[in-house]
Amino acid sequence: MYNVKANGAEIPALGFGTFRMPGEDVLRIVPHALDIGFRHIDTAQVYGNEAEVGTAIDQSPVAREDIFLTTKVWVDKFRHDDFIASVDESLKKLKTDYVDLLLLHWPKLDVPLAEQIGALNEVHKAGKVRHIGVSNYSTALMAEAVELSDAPIVTNQIEVHPYIDQTKVLEAARKNGMSITAYYAMADGKVFEDAVLQDLASKYGKSVAQLVLRWVIQHDGVIALSKTVGEKRALENFDIFDFEISANDMQAISALTQKDGRIVSPDGLAPEWDD
């Protein structure tokens, strides 16, 4: 494991995500993930499992200060007072007095972005969050957020997999000293049926999941979130630091991009995406 440096933050390059993970699974698998070496745990208010994530971390022998913990404020809490109260509630559920990274989950702009960024800065200044960031932002929104924020924006968490071209967003992040945190790397399972990925995985003696996660983190400044409720798969996902994909094979994976490759774009939440 190594860390990705971004605007003063040092974020473990491979994270363990808990999206759509029931609390009982969180209580079982997060301690296992920490035991095998994961040090970056990602949750969100809307996932409904912050309390279980907090319990799992609290009961782990791994020290809290050695864990990079991310959560996200949901769009119905973007008004200033609701925002501050929701962060306090998240901290209580997570059984900690700070999170390492707090994100705006989606760019819902019925609340002015300046108000959202202002609240992010307020909880950062209060020491409740060590770093701040955004999620599902276009390059235009990233630029606006950076301009509005006193504290540095350290990441934009977005959909990244072999079938979507996020080059513009990645380049904009690098220009601003930010990282990209990649979710949906398995493209909702599509990667497992891909003959190109199957052949390359065989070439490296790895699984398709390992190949794709490695492809993600070999992009400069990109962090990968993995997710599983299986102990064996969690161990497999973590085992991606003992090989390197060649430049030609990196390009072959990136060449799988499709024009309609985006999977996650919910009505009422998604911004006007970059072409």
Sorted by where each begins, the domain ranges of the chain are 3-254
Closest to 139 in 3D by CA, of 113, 173, 163: 173
pLDDT tens string, the chain, 275 residues long: the values are: 899 999 999 999 999 999 999 999 999 999 999 999 999 999 999 999 999 999 999 999 999 999 999 999 999 999 999 999 999 999 999 999 999 999 999 998 899 999 999 999 999 999 999 999 999 999 999 999 999 999 999 999 999 999 999 999 999 999 999 999 999 999 999 999 999 999 999 999 999 999 999 999 999 999 999 999 999 999 999 999 999 999 999 999 999 999 999 999 999 999 999 98
Say how far apart CA 263 and CA 68 lie, in whole Å: 27
pLDDT at residue number 109: 87
Q: Which CATH class is domain 3-254?
A: alpha beta
Active site residues: 47
Beta partners for residue 226, in sequence order: 16
Instruction: Check residue 275 and give its pLDDT.
Output: 83
80 is in an annotated binding site: no
